[in-house]
Amino acid sequence: MIKESKDMEETKMNYRGRVHPDLLEMYDSEPELELDLPDSLRTSMEDEFKTKGLPAGEEVEVSERYIAGAEGGNIYIRIYRPANNNDIRPGLLWIHGGGYIAGFVKIDEGLCIRFVTEAKCVVVSVEYRLAPEYPYPIPLEDCYSALKWLYDNAEEINADKNRIAVAGNSAGGGLTAALSLLARDRGGPKIVFQAPLYPMLDDSCGTPSCVEMQDRKAWFGECNELAWSMYLSDYNTEDVPQYAAPARARDLTGLPAAYTFIGDLDPLRDETIEYTARLSRAGVPVEFHLYPGCFHAFDVSAIRTEIGDRALSDFIAALARALR
């Protein structure tokens, strides 16, 4: 861990004063996150889902099934595609967030519907199994199984197996980056575009932003460190593979073109900036956006705000361009 400086301590004290005006109402109304993980995080995400429920999407056909996952387990996927339209479209594997320890596919239903209607693609959303019950590598291998399923069954769901993207947010962003590395090194399926949005990449939790951001109204450094310890419970620090924590990867050449964004009040800010720079130095085309005054998952938590909608709309537009 990085030793806290006086500047870091002052920044923590002034956190609310740095929050973007669009997000202040939501920031003030949110309860503080608790450290009794994973129960508190799972409960808060379930409560959020109960509040908003499933959106209506008459333009989109939603189906579901179970497929084989890692180590003989079964995993749940939801498939989103245009209703009454059999045109072949690009495919997107979407990976939900939740710190590797919480989350489920239905919480992102509205987002997946937007991908279909605005980015003109077929979406497979995967409910990978969660730590601490299922630590690394099971969540990643579940995602790889879903990627393989999408590729192998592309014709059945009217997807183009030669135009497959992978995207996710937070832990889903970390799994997106890891899956891109894993698919490259296993020789496929080929991914044409990756979008690790505000991703969990660095298990050291020692960047300045991870130390600095300790405000409990949003994902914070201590919470991040605890979630990593659950995900990597079977590994010593020196043995953590690059596919578990992509910040450890030494070779980023040959990876798919990338898009990411993050808020400057996110504890994952510095690892995202560093990973983005390393992708670019490795010759990978990459687009990056840093949003001032925005905390972790500001786009999902504050979807009705101008800055949250702008971040999502810009990403979906980039996804559509990449898949064309």
Query: Where in the chain are the domains?
Result: 6-323
9 vs 13, 23, 181, 215, CA distance in Å? 6, 22, 36, 11
Check pLDDT > 80 for residue 236.
yes
Of 22, 108, 145, 170, which one is the catalytic site residue?
Answer: 170
Check pLDDT > 60 for residue 201.
yes
Of 53-62, 92-101, 198-207, least confident by mean pLDDT is 53-62
Whether 20 is a known active-site residue: answer no
Q: What pLDDT score does 234 carry?
A: 87
220: Cα separation from own chain's centroid: 16
Of 20, 215, 296, 299, which one is the catalytic site residue?
Answer: 296
Whether 108 is a known active-site residue: answer no
Q: What pLDDT score does 301 carry?
A: 72
Q: What pLDDT score does 11 carry?
A: 55
How confident is the prediction for the chain on average, in pLDDT? 94
- Convert the pLDDT of each residue in 23-41 to its tens digit: 999 999 989 999 999 999 9
Residue 275 pLDDT class (50, 70, 90 cuts): very high
Q: What pLDDT score does 2 carry?
A: 44
Calpha distance 102→184 (Å, rounded) = 27
- Convert the pLDDT of each residue in 181-196 to its tens digit: 999 999 999 999 999 9
Residue 294 pLDDT class (50, 70, 90 cuts): very high
Q: What pLDDT score does 13 carry?
A: 59
Instruction: Read off the pTM.
Output: 0.95
Whether 313 is a known active-site residue: answer no
Q: What pLDDT score does 1 carry?
A: 44
Calpha distance 119→147 (Å, rounded) = 19
Check pLDDT > 90 for residue 235.
yes
Residue 241 pLDDT class (50, 70, 90 cuts): very high
Secondary structure string (H, E, C) spanning the chain: CCCCCHHHHHHHHCHHHHCCHHHHHHHHHCCCCCCCCCHHHHHHHHHHHHHHCCCCCCCEEEEEEEEECHHHCEEEEEEEEECCCCCCEEEEEEECCCCCCCCCHHHHHHHHHHHHHHHCCEEEEEECCCCCCCCCCHHHHHHHHHHHHHHHCCCCCCEEEEEEEEEEECHHHHHHHHHHHHHHHHCCCCCCEEEEECCCCCCCCCCHHHHHCCCCCCCCHHHHHHHHHHHCCCCCHHHCCCCCCHHHCCCCCCCCEEEEEEECCCCCHHHHHHHHHHHHHCCCCEEEEEECCCCCCHHHHCCCCHHHHHHHHHHHHHHHHHHC
Check pLDDT > 50 for residue 260.
yes
CB-CB neighbours of 310 under 10 Å: 15
- Convert the pLDDT of each residue in 124-135 to its tens digit: 999 999 999 999
> Which CATH fold would you assign to the domain 6-323?
Rossmann fold (3.40.50)
Check pLDDT > 70 for residue 302.
no
Check pLDDT > 90 for residue 54.
no
Q: What pLDDT score does 237 carry?
A: 85
- Convert the pLDDT of each residue in 75-116 to its tens digit: 999 999 999 899 999 999 999 999 999 999 999 999 999 999
Of 266, 270, 299, 301, which one is the catalytic site residue?
Answer: 266
Check pLDDT > 70 for residue 138.
yes
Check pLDDT > 80 for residue 56.
no
